[in-house]
Structure 1
């Protein structure tokens, strides 16, 4: 396939003077942006500070200048440190690259409005978020950067996603992936976890740039040169080199390099690199009296006296400040050099000055300092900008304007070329996806021959089938020996199967991904020789985990680094919206350890990645593992949809529907699919057994039903009535499963069913549906009708998605309401006013997780609810023991039902007797729910 080129030749030879002039204008514009954001007239009392990080933005000025003005292409991606965003916006302002959604340019007036709108709430006008954002008008191929330590890792895994897509035959442009990080940010554990992985995967298209300004939020960076054997820059160099990275130090600017050539210049170079600690350097930068400084240095370093005598005070002043990270030409050379390292990622350590060009340069605590008004006036004057206008591009006749126009047009054309490629890919995949008809609702996994399967087992079956379909030729003459041709139901899954890629943090085999892994490890360009086969020691009963480079290789192995995998699944999930290639990434992880990657997980959801995260096994249901594996990562975040199926069939429907939504780009607001699975088996036949008992699925029903075990006068034994066709029942239930919940046990339409008297609704989720079923059966034997509603998605039922339509499915789809059922209680002597008992149908919820997952069902509807949930650290034991320990077992559910039924009965309403259609003689009023529901002796569950 042809692909757009990223050859990024500079439009023409350009002088250092012109480039530095542009950088100074960008510096002024960025500083002015920050100043204006902090001096708005609409500030209200108590409003938090705006900030803007002028000094941190200034230290990255020339680094970003080299990228924007000389090195990057419109196909490249950039992850920039958060505090450098004003600088980026300023370069894009000068390049005229503020774009609308249709890629047309903002007018100059609109662009100036945007520059005035840093951290401002938009009422439709263009503004800029605090840091790089998907919503900014210059967001093209920029990673959102509010979370430090995450975007540089995403850049690496996007580089891997590009290579993966290319090697699997999809059309992608040549691109380089850049990440600018702060030196304090570089201490983030997320970055160090990824360092060896990027080198081992030979991501030569990745360049990290360290903005080494030696200062952080709380002051000077304090390092220990004696213990670390050098500066922090030396430590970083050794660390990265030891992990397989190319390292380029850009320590000195051209002025320093010229001075090094003078007699004794080598002593000055050694002084700067080896003898001067970072903290001392920052102090020297604050000294203005060069004569005194010369004397002080000569006294401490006598070998430098000859050199110091040979340079003027001005030369020394400029040389001390001439960091390589502010030499735009040397930076561009280093960046171009990094692109030549095709097998190793590169880190450029750019030595910079925090607050470059500002009065606060090198000052302690300058991180949060803001420029003063007179400083802005001075900067504006130096730019030759007159009048009331605050932001101004170069006059069209200047060499700066001519260069910026040519450079900006080139980048704009490449941006449009990438979007054209995205459109082309989207059209290609849409046509190919519908070639064999719509994606079916199910993968038709047969569970009837399996004893008590669990949902994690089902995941393995589903992924195995997708893998088999992907690797089965459509042409029968290409089938291998004994390879079965695809059925009509399987052919529509062919392309989704090919797009499907799985990954795991060293738990692929233990989360049932074996079939997707066996002989299908994507390891390119690293190929490991299969010595096991060569030496005759291969165990073919175990999965083949040798990396390869076949097109059928679609599993990514990782070490135990959950953050890396979460970043990777997010990067692969962005390929759909970046290039129109709907790769379907799915990661498995022990559910408890999702917490280790919550930062990365949030990032994936924020930038609207479309991906699958399977937390399995989950919760205290993994009872033998005890406390440390038991607490689920229960979270609600925008763009997330959580599923927790009980029956294997539910998982089949959920996965197929989610895949279809992903490939058709029909999952807005729910692009992050979080699946909770377990290794506790369940009787799959129970699903149809209980569904067939429901009145709505009976054929020719007249009158009321009753259960054979507990006959009620006036009812017909439900077993004596025929039921609808199973396929018809499943079609209806599938729709309900995908809306978030369905009735498994439903006594509506049964004789003796009296809402407000003997009815309670049990909402059960995941493996705890077993406890809901048991509780319902126990309660029925006592004359209580306990409906069991299986919650498949808390987000759809009572979470963010449900809130969007005012919980319509809960209220109307399931018919859960707060209707009040009245009966006469006792008369009072006040005309015809009567005190009555008002009863609603109460709710009990039971699930393996934090109470907050389902404890708002009652409040949403307006009824009494008791939530059986995990509220303490767990222990080891059998599920039955652990469920009892947490009060989420069947007995606890029964007790909870008794409590809410009794408490509901205590509610009283005063109403006119004439308004009552029916009344009953009232008994003695109870004072507490326990009087109506005698409890057995309390059990010590501790």
Structure 2
């Protein structure tokens, strides 16, 4: 590295160090704060990574590289873009405030060029590994040959390695021959609550090496390495290597004089060692001892430049938390802030004149030279790196013609039909499953479209002519990504693939399948994927207590509520194959939409923005209705509900069901029709979309849009006020219980509120009172009680 480059990197480091900390200081000490609550911002966590950050972005990266920034280093990221002129001062001044830059990097909420959202620690690391796998998946296809491959890089804190999903991702990466992936660990040896255990670095290195990673230990900076070459330097190095983490942090906080006293006490008067120590002032000695490899921008830049292959690499960079600030090394500095007095002193040390705190080039002697350097930084040469891909036509999706079929099996047959088709859509589908490919009905798709592997792998069962329904070849052109049993990995893979159009300029249609109860196992990763605005379809199947013989642990209860509550995810639970076909055809288009969020005044849903889709399916065979699939039916299915049996003007009872309990609702309606007038049956395909439209319509009416009316309001508007609504679902009853509130109808919600147990489907539906008899009993018992009350009234 030239002296000029090294000098410019130091200046950049100083600038983003200052700007990031000033932004935090302004938010906590200078900006109006009516609530009087600490704003926060993690000055120490930013400081520990500033040298790593500078070296990476300003010397190592290319525009095609993608980075997940450590959540607590977000101030550095924003300061960097502010320095580069990509961010307005107003956004910086409102850091962690309304309309300002976010607390943690966000693809959807920040104005600057965020590659991956971070915040829930551990997932920023994992998504880079899966993004590298997705990059390989795309590059192996004929339509991906023009892809310019980049490195997928994660900047992570050492405490993030406590998260279990990190190790799940490492194992999956090893299985798929991970490459082009760097994880750069800010090894500052401090977490929120204290100092990390001694010798952790050895465990970290062994884990990474076990999964085929190269581990580069970056412990000493330029000043330290130079001192080690002096007489007495080897003794100093030995002392550093054996000094406990807690001691090193405390000595850093106390400063140069304390360093001198401790070193002299521990090493004694040894001639050369004494001269090495005494030849430096207190300030110089502190700079030497705190000049670890991760806090030396030149060392980091040279280390990055030394890598010229695609092997996955872990950089273990030793740093000081709070490096270069008055709170460096203090065990409480994770959430700590410099006081106003400390900031005034630090501002002088950073050579920033008063009144020029927000000046991008304050204190820079050669501003023209710095500007010229910034203009040549490769990473920023391409401007905004958010890519896109053209829309892909969606062919008609045809439902299977079976008279009796389960929704899960219908999904499998639809996927098999797509596999047989010669369409761009089918070529861009990527399926993924955590070791339940066959049992979630993806087997036929995989038989035709094969499994993905960078290098082909023969199926011994096939070559030896051993009968098997799974004719699965591992080939580069394969379209199924097989994972181990780790739901966090499933959703992280879906997140990475669902950003294919934005990261790589190549649109994918990721479809992930898993057992519905285990959506909860990967819920944090699912939320993370939606927060990225990744686009995917997740199929939870089998679901509910209808999975009767499996027992409570395999029977989902609350997943319909997850579907309703999760932002960015449109949840459906179709009962019939024709509904499923309509939903999937719509979903392939919905995944591609990138509108601005205007409301559809017919449903009051933000369908223009698009999003991901969740299907809750079942293994229970259901007799299929014979009916015309016209536009009215299609629209009702997509909007969330339609009348399977429209109520008459004198309707006393409506049964509203969602999903696989359809036969119970239909049987109950048939019996009740002999006893009650004009019984209606409402087929709910998406409580999520019904509820969201209703809520949005109410909000808009409160704003003066009197004509705002949602789909569920229109469906129920002519239902007599005395009518009772019975809702039933193989899931939590709260999913549909709200429907009565739309127009004030008395509602009887039926569903499952407790852990299931083994038995037949009939046993469990009877036990949980979601069968036809329970529906009838509730209606007749309620009506009889009402009549007795009316007869006894004076």
- The two structures have a TM-score, normalised by structure 2, of 0.90
| Match in the other structure for 1:366 | 333
Mark the CA change 1:792 to 1:391 in structure 2 (over 3 Å): closer, same or farther.
Answer: same
Q: Deviations over 1:88-119 (max 9, x none)?
A: 11122112222xxxxxxxxxxxx222221101
Change in 2 beyond 3 A, CA 1:808/1:626: farther
Residues 296-318 of structure 1 deviation map (CA, whole Å, 9 limit, x = unaligned): 2126xx9x775345432546433
Matches within 5 A, 1:200-211: 200-211=175-186
Pairwise CA distance, 1:261? 1.7
Between the aligned partners of 2:226 and 2:86, the Cα distance in structure 1 is 37
For structure 1, which segment, 602-611 or 393-402, has the greater mean C-alpha deviation from structure 2 after superposition? 393-402
SS of 2:334's partner is: helix
For residue 658 of structure 1, the aligned residue among 559, 573, 587 is 587
Query: Residue 388 of structure 1: CA displacement?
Result: 2.6
Report matched runs for 1:701-712 at 5 Å.
none
What does residue range 467-866 of structure 1 map to in structure 2 within 5 Å? 467-470=419-422, 494-518=423-447, 520-534=449-463, 536-539=464-467, 541-549=468-476, 551=477, 553-632=478-557, 633=559, 634-635=561-562, 636-663=565-592, 665=594, 668-684=608-624, 687-688=625-626, 726-727=627-628, 730-748=630-648, 754-755=650-651, 759-798=652-691, 800-806=692-698, 808-816=709-717, 819-820=720-721, 840-866=722-748
Give the CA deviation at 1:613: 0.4
Is the partner of 1:743 in helix, strand or coil?
Answer: strand
1:876 aligned counterpart, secondary structure: coil
Query: 1:268 Cα shift?
Result: 2.8
Separation in 1, partners of 2:108, 2:169: 28
Q: Which of residues 129, 132, 152 in structure 2 aligns to 1:159?
A: 132
Conserved? CA contact 1:219–1:366, under 8 Å: no
Larger radius of gyration: 1
User: Does the 8 A contact of 2:645 with 2:681 survive in 1?
Assistant: yes
Q: State the distance in 2 between where 1:179 and 1:400 align.
A: 31
- Cα offsets for 1:760-780 (capped at 9, x unmatched): 111101111111112112212
* Displacement after TM superposition at 1:861 (Å): 2.3
CA distance in 1, matches of 2:379, 2:363: 18
CA contact (8 A) 1:202 1:345 kept: no
Partner SS, residue 601 of structure 1: helix
Please say if 1:50 is aligned against 2:39: yes
Structure 1 residues 32-71: aligned runs within 5 Å = 32-45=22-35, 48-71=37-60
- Using the TM superposition, give the Cα deviation of residue 441 of structure 1 relative to its aligned residue in structure 2, in angstroms: 4.2
Cα 1:278–1:291 change in 2 (3 A) is: closer
Counterpart secondary structure, 1:368:
coil
| Separation of aligned partners in 1, 2:149 and 2:367 | 29
CA distance, structure 2, for counterparts of residue 265 and residue 318 of structure 1: 16
- Equivalents in 2 of 1:902, 1:409: separation in Å? 83
Query: Would the aligned equivalents of 1:78 and 1:143 in 2 still touch at CA under 8 Å?
Result: yes
Shift, 1:148, TM fit:
1.1
TM-score, length basis structure 1 = 0.77
- Cα 1:358–1:316 shift into 2, 3 Å: closer
User: 2:160 matched to 1:185?
Assistant: yes
SS at match of 2:615: strand
Provide closer, same or farther for how the CA distance between residues 277 and 514 of structure 1 changes in structure 2, counting only shifts above 3 A: same
Q: Deviations over 1:780-805 (max 9, x none)?
A: 2323543111110111112x244223
> Given the alignment of the two structures, is residue 84 of structure 1 paired with residue 69 of structure 2, yes or no?
no
RMSD: 2.6
Give me the whole-angstrom Cα distance separating, in 1, the residues matched to 2:673 and 2:62.
Answer: 70
The more displaced of 439-448 and 854-863 is 439-448
Cα-to-partner distance string for 1:259-312 (whole Å, 9 max, x where unaligned): 222334333323323x2232232233344334421232126xx9x775345432
2:20 to 30, 42, 48: 30
Q: Following the alignment from structure 1 to structure 2, what is the Cα–Cα distance between the partners of residues 902 and 44?
A: 58
The CA distance in 1 between the partners of 2:342 and 2:783, in whole Å, is 71
Q: Please say if 1:134 is aligned against 2:95.
A: no
Determine helix, strand or coil for the equivalent of 1:564: helix
Distance apart, 1:413 and its partner CA: 6.2
Q: Secondary structure at the match of 1:366?
A: coil
**Secondary structure class of the residue paired with 1:207:** strand
| C-alpha deviation, 1:597, in angstroms | 0.9
How many residues align structurally? Answer: 763
TM-fit CA distance, 1:506:
0.3
Q: For 2:417, which of 420, 440, 465 is the aligned residue?
A: 465
Corresponding residue of 2:793: 925
For structure 1, list consecutive stretches of 5 or more residues without a partner in the other structure: 1-9, 99-110, 226-230, 434-438, 471-493, 689-725, 821-839, 908-921, 927-942
Per the TM alignment, residue 155 of structure 1 is displaced from its structure 2 partner at its CA by 1.6
Q: Which residue of 2 aligns with 1:283?
A: 250
Partner deviation per Cα, 1:650-696 (whole Å, 9 max, x = no partner): 11111111113334657545512000010000111xx23xxxxxxxx
Unaligned runs of 5+ in 2: 596-606, 699-707
CA gap of 1:373–1:135, structure 2 versus 1, over 3 A, is: farther
1:234 aligns with 2:202: yes
Output the CA distance in 2 between the equivalents of 1:906 and 1:154. Answer: 63
- Relative distance call for 1:792 and 1:190 in structure 2 (3 A) is same
Q: What is the Cα deviation at residue 730 of structure 1?
A: 3.9
Q: Is contact 2:591–2:610 with CA below 8 Å preserved after alignment?
A: no
Shift of 1:440: 4.4
